[in-house]
Amino acid sequence: MSILQSIKNAVRSRSIHVSYVDVGSCNGCDIEVLACLAPRYDIEQYGIYVHNNPREADILLVIGSVTPQWVDKLRDIWDKIPEPKVAVAIGNCPISGCVYARKGSLTTPPVKNYIPIAAEVPGCPPRPTEILSAILSVAPLIFKDYEEKQS
C-alpha cells in the first residue's frame, strides 16, 4: 500500500456517512438512533454524519421488521448507495422480526434475506452506545484498501 493510499484511508475512516431507513418499526429504535445525534452521545465527534440521501451514504442503518411493501424499496435504496457500502441491522425487528414475526403476520424478517448485513445490534430498542459501537466496528470494512481493490 502506498503512502498516499494510507493517508486516504486514514482520512476516510474519520468521515463516515450514514443513512437510515425504517422499514416497519414501532419507532423505538428510530428514537435511539436520533438520540445518537444528541449532545450526550454526539456521533459527529467520531466523524459520523447522518444523511437522508442514500447516494451520500457509506453505511445503511436498517430499522424495523421488513414488510412486503418495503422489500423492493429496500433493494432500490441499497443499490443507490455507492461502493464501498455496508448495512447494519438496528434492533431485534430486522434481525428476527421480534414481536411482529408471528404466523399470519405481514412481515418478512430477517432483513439479511434482502440485503447483505455486516453487523447486527440486538435489543428492543438497543442503546445508543451499542449503535455507535456497531457503526465504528464496520467502518474499517468500508475503506480498507478500496482503491487497490478497484484496480
How far out from the chain centre does Cα 111 lie? Answer: 12
Q: What share of the chain is helix, strand, coil (3-state, %, to 5)?
A: 45, 15, 40
Q: Which residue has the cell 412481515?
A: 107
pLDDT of residue 151: 52
| 49 has a pLDDT exceeding 60 | yes
C-alpha span between 70 and 57 (Å, rounded): 19
For range 94-106, the mean pLDDT: 82
C-alpha span between 14 and 29 (Å, rounded): 25
* 7 vs 151: which has the higher pLDDT: 7
Beta strands in 51-147 (DSSP E): 59-63, 86-90, 119-121
| 59 has a pLDDT exceeding 80 | yes
| 4 has a pLDDT exceeding 90 | no
Question: Rounded to two decimals, what is the model's pTM?
Answer: 0.87
